[in-house]
Chains A and B, each alone.
Chain A
Amino acid sequence: MSKRSIVPFGPQHPVLPEPIHLDLVLEDEKVVEAIPSIGFVHRGLEKLVEKRNFHDYMYVIERICGICSFMHGMGYAEGIERIMDVEIPDRAKYLRTIWCEMSRLHSHLLWLGLLADAFGFESLFMHCWRMRETILDMFEASTGGRVIFSVNKIGGVLKDMDNSMLRRFVDMFDKMEEEVRQLTNVFLKDYTVASRLKGVGILTKEDAILHGAVGPMMRAAGIEADTRKLGYAAYGDIDFDIITGKDCDSFSRCEVRINEIFQSFNIIRQAVAKIPEGPVSVDVKGNPDGEAFVRLEQPRGEAVFYFRGDGTQFLNRARVRTPTFANIPSLVKILEGCDFADVPILVLTIDPCVSCTER
């Protein structure tokens, strides 16, 4: 009979840029159960909404995460705009869409770099992050920030991108696309990558629904779900298909994210071609009184925002259900029955963002 042992994984581990802990119950080299623990970086940012003016809270909510900071700010803005029935100018909607896709690009390139690093492909890791730096340079040029952008406001955006900057960005993305294709070919065609990812960490369509998976985790299981199709910001004017995988394994998750990189290039090109002239914000008067849900597609998947105000300058509640929080049960599911040696890669394939998870 196999001997059972419990091996702690994390909170500090070479594949984890942020702390999360798993108690892995092993039978020989097989994981039979995984129990997750979080709480190493909980900051109580949701609670802080009770003590910050609702305009100022924008600068708190975008600090939930250093990768999705733009989208956290945007989710907050869209929620409060919904409660206050504010319609933002069309140009602001397009600018939000462009910055959203730039966030997805740099997030997916960051993840590919981490995956390459986990395989021991150091040069590949550095190339992925070198390209990500170019996108951060674009963020800096357009917003003034590389991590925290502070460009969203209730009623639109604070900064505009002139048309020459937009055209320059498109030229840069055109050049980058070819380079990204060469890089991603390594992930899709290399024997070592395939042998570590194919057939490993299967999450079936049924399990993905049952365990509440979101984003590339869910789409890799063959489920066509992408909240961008709801048409928020300018996505309603953009033509794109939902990218799904078919094999439900770690390789599928990698493939979905790679295809989403090229999809983001395409969405940005469409948005730049269609962006109308005009103002980028409207004045907002009064305080939010009511409640609203907003769903956004962040790089890691569906984020759910809920806000409730009572007519004062302080909100009663700000709730952000981040995608990694939703994907932890699916991680637990794919770890059951896996080889112990595959645990680090499987943890990476959910693209964990612990800052988001803890808030």
Chain B
Amino acid sequence: MRENYELKILAPDQITIKAHSLRNKGARLSQICSVRTKGGYDLLYSYVLDGLFKNYKVSISEDAEIESITAIFPNAFLYENEMSELFGIKIKYIALDYKNKLYDIAVETPFK
């Protein structure tokens, strides 16, 4: 049996609003990741609310800056630092910002 999950499109300025709304309902932030696309990135925010797996896809341009959700979901700091270091996504107001030193790997990051 395959899981029926939700995958919706979200505008970049709705990231924190949606996070607030889900936090108030008791959701858990399950993961955030990014995918390189032509001219930008898709960011995928995944939450679990009452057992339902809810995913939100946010498409941004390469030079766009988004707002951190660490003030809403503290566990977002690892995901956001990872996206920032490995993909070069600009994220402001990360609660614990490693300044591209989360993995601190020997090769140049972000990977292009």
Contact = CB atoms under 8 A, between A and B. Distances in A.
Interface of A: 35, 37-39, 42, 44, 47, 82, 209-212, 225, 230-232, 236, 293-295, 302, 304, 306, 308, 316-317, 319, 321, 325-326, 328-330, 358
Contacts of A328: 78
Q: How large is the interface on B (under 10, 10 to 19, 20 to 34, 35 or more residues)?
A: 20 to 34
Contacts of A321: 30-31, 33
B1 A230 contact: yes
A293 B53 contact: yes
A209 B28 contact: yes
Given A293-B7, A293-B55, A329 B74 contact: yes
Given A308-B35, A321-B33, A211 B103 contact: no
A82 B74 contact: no
Given A39-B104, A236-B1, A321-B30, A329 B75 contact: yes
B108 interface: no
Interface of B: 1-3, 5, 7, 26-31, 33, 35-36, 44, 46, 48, 51, 53, 55, 73-75, 77-78, 86, 96, 101-105, 111
A225 B51 contact: yes
Given A317-B35, A321-B30, A326-B30, A212 B73 contact: yes
Contacts of B102: 37-39
B55 A209 contact: no
A328 B78 CA distance: 9
17 contacts: A210-B28, A210-B75, A211-B74, A212-B28, A212-B29, A225-B48, A231-B1, A232-B3, A293-B3, A304-B31, A306-B33, A308-B35, A317-B35, A319-B31, A329-B74, A329-B75, A358-B103
